[in-house]
Amino acid sequence: MAHEHEHLADLLDLDAEVLSEYHREVAEWVTANLTERARVIDVGAGTGTGTLALARQLPDAEVIALDVDEELLKHIQDKARASGLADRVRTVQADLDQAWPDGLKPADLVWAANSLHHMGDPARAVAQIYQILRPGGLLAVTEMESFPRFLTDPAGAALEERIHTAMARGRDEAGMHMHEDWPARFAEAGFAVESERCFVIELQPPPGSPMAASVTRYAMVALCRARHGLEDKLSAGDIAELDALAPALPARDDLTVHTSRTVWLARKTAG
Residues 178 and 172 sit within 8 Å (Cβ to Cβ): yes
Comparing CA positions, the residue from 9, 22, 18 lying closest to residue 257 is 18
Q: In what order do the strands lie in the sheet with 133-144?
A: 89-93, 62-67, 39-43, 107-113, 133-144, 257-268, 191-203
φ/ψ (deg, to 5) at 114: 55, 35
Contacts of 161 (CB under 8 A, 6+ apart): none
Q: Given this model, what pLDDT does residue 176 score?
A: 84
Structure confidence at residue 8 as a pLDDT band (50, 70, 90): confident
| pLDDT exceeds 50 at position 229 | yes
Query: What are the extents of the domains in the chain?
Result: 2-268
Q: How many CB atoms lie within 10 A of CB 100?
A: 20
Which residues are registered as beta bridge partners of 142?
113, 263
Q: Given this model, what pLDDT does residue 3 score?
A: 45
| pLDDT exceeds 70 at position 67 | yes
Instruction: Find out whether the peptide bond into 101 is cis, omega within 30 degrees of 0.
Output: no
Q: Across residues 153-157, what is the average pLDDT?
A: 96
Q: What topology is assigned to 2-268 in CATH?
A: Rossmann fold (3.40.50)
110's enclosing H/E stretch is strand 107-113
Encode pLDDT of 104-151 as tens digits.
889 999 999 999 999 999 999 999 999 999 999 999 999 987 779 999
Q: Given this model, what pLDDT does residue 17 score?
A: 96
Q: Across residues 28-44, what is the average pLDDT?
A: 94
| CA atoms within 13 A of residue 264's CA, in its CB half-sphere | 20
Between CA 162 and CA 131 the distance in angstroms is 41
Q: Across residues 238-248, what is the average pLDDT?
A: 94
Structure confidence at residue 103 as a pLDDT band (50, 70, 90): confident
Comparing CA positions, the residue from 226, 228, 223, 267 lying closest to residue 249 is 223
- Output the average pLDDT for the chain: 92
Q: Given this model, what pLDDT does residue 171 score?
A: 86
| pLDDT exceeds 70 at position 5 | no
Least reliable range by pLDDT among 52-56, 64-68, 166-170, 175-179: 175-179
Q: Given this model, what pLDDT does residue 4 score?
A: 52
